[in-house]
Amino acid sequence: MRLTGRRILVTGAASGIGLAIAELFLREGAKVFAIDRSVAALESAGAQLAARGDAAVLAVDVTAESEVGEAMVHAHHRMGGLDGIVNAAGIDLQRSFADMTSTEWDKVLAVNLTGPCLVCRAALPALQESGHGTIVNIASGAALRPLENRTAYCASKAGLVMLTKAMAIDLAPFGIRANAICPGVIDTPMFRASYESAADPRAEFAKIMERFTQKRVGKPEDIAFAALYLTSDESAYVTGSALAVDGGRAFH
């Protein structure tokens, strides 16, 4: 029960990595306020989370500053404060740089980079009040080593890592720690879509696996446990880090 008494807001919590984090945090004793833009997915996830502990859900678009602000008011009212943020909401875009439109670029950066910034800004007063606030941003291994045909995605996730490091400096005087996690390939709907749409899905999957030392796809729980460490007091002397949880791709 490493998070007993902690009040944590998790974005992108209706599926994949965000849902796994919300579930694990509940098992570890936290109160969780789960937000996601998908109302349908939240309906299913909400019941799943409520069965595990003290959880509330709310449909929020993290790119809409007004919605994010309202979500913080709801979270503060529901949980009596806020001790931590996990930004897990994100989208992918497979497009060559030559074919990518400015609209696509703007959309990816809005969700993957501006969204976490808006959430952290809105949560800042509550995190300052907490006195031991934590921020965990789910970036990507693509922030450390680029991928082909994913210019916008790579740029957004690299920006998120640097945003995390910059926040770690600025927020240290308030007792707030900020860290990022850089996952490898994780078994989520977003990852499956990245190769199942290929002309030869099996060949595409094999090509992806060549990048990794560990020849397996990670589980959402692999990232959830890393987020647990960075949110708990066990990482009290860790801030500004970009933790690669990627089956060895960062050095392979």
What amino acid positions are annotated as catalytic residues? 153
The two tokens of residue 73 are 């008011």
Which residue has tokens 């949560």?
123
Q: What is d(CA 172, CA 150) in angstroms, rounded to the nearest whole number?
A: 33
Q: What is d(CA 170, CA 178) in angstroms, rounded to the nearest whole number?
A: 10
From the CB of residue 229, how many other CB atoms can be counted at a distance below 10 Å?
A: 16
Q: What is d(CA 86, CA 210) in angstroms, rounded to the nearest whole number?
A: 30
How do 177-183 and 134-138 pair as beta strands? parallel
Phi, psi of 43 (to 5 degrees): -60, -40
- Asked if 150 contacts 212 with a C-beta cutoff of 8 angstroms, the reply is no
Beta bridge partners of 8: 32, 84
